[in-house]
Structure 1
Amino acid sequence: MIVSETALAGAFIVDVDRFADHRGYFSRILCVQAFSRQGIDLATIQANVSYNRKQGTLRGMHFQYPPAAEDKYVRCIRGSVFDVIVDLRPESPTWLKHVGIELSAENGRGLYVPKRFAHGFVTLTDHTELLYFMGGAHTTGAEGGLRFDDPALAIAWPPVQVLSERDTMWRSLSETSEELRSRMTSSVDVLS
């Protein structure tokens, strides 16, 4: 595995080494030692799959507030997505900055998403599946979200065609930034 930090401290792209022969290939997709060398301590307690029928399906931008904030490691195992993370750590120099990358079954790329980051994606193909290794359990009442099309984020999304009603209801950052800053301030996971 090749683990490379993104422009957002603590968030990592995970590329795989494929060992190929006439049968196909073998690759390691999760290695605690490789993560640990980068300071990642993902204690996976749950694994989830997201299946999406149509190209242009958007899910996000989701997160959980502390103390229920969760980290995750996301991989696309069928099809492809444009995956986006937003730094929601008020003490971070990259507060409200984002990184977007393509994850696909073909490129084998994964993304480690730290606690106190929003995460979302839009599918680039029909019949797309993502695999999530979760470092925390979903906590009802701790959910939060950002508008995917918020001008303050300026995310250049591919065309969005399918969106849940819930994801259309998130308020804009102009309405929520102070509340977000207050609720995301945490004595745990503070950047050094």
Structure 2
Amino acid sequence: MGSAAVPVVLIFLIVVFSGVTIYSANRDLARAKAWGDLARRFLPFVVLAFMAMSLYFVRAFAEGSVVFVWMVVFGILIVASSLFSVPALERRANGVFRRGDYALAAELYGKLVEERPLARNHAFWGAALGASERFDESINASTKAVDIDPEYGLAYYNRALVLRRMGKKGRAVKDLNRALEVDMPRRFRSAAKKILQELQ
């Protein structure tokens, strides 16, 4: 393999890694058969795939403005697809939650649940309600998420955090153990294990 093939191989690996990462983070959408939502999440991956495929043809135009135009066009497409891949209301609610305005985040996630009653949206709503110290409502939202998708670990994790704050250690331990048995992102898995060690 010549040095000219290295960029093509690297881009191919980035595309494959991106696809696997996107699917791993959105398996709940596949379980819910929310194909439109799942397809949206894959938009940046699709753009990267087209970019990788077109690289072979663009390399023939090493001189001139073709490469520059190619870079600008795909740069714009990557940014646009990233923005469109997450619904605007969810993106806004996520931003508000990260800034620490949990009351507003709970309101926005509540609207998101009305629009798209997916397990993940109920779980996000439960997290915002819990952070707002609306514990009973948080438990109800997380329980609804579990009812919709018993394999969605983040719902168990969020509910466990609220149960721990309410002093219900036994139920929190049960939820954390269940969260570790099902589909949950790695960073939350580590946090769940650490909390379990503290509680036991």
Verify same fold: TM over 0.5: no
- For Structure 1 versus Structure 2, the TM-score category normalised by the shorter chain is under 0.3
TM-score after normalising by structure 2? 0.24
Determine which structure has the larger strand proportion and give its number.
1
Determine which structure has the larger helix proportion and give its number.
2
Identify which of structures 1 and 2 has the higher relative contact order when contacts are C-alpha pairs closer than 8 Å and 6+ apart: 1
TM-score after normalising by structure 1? 0.24
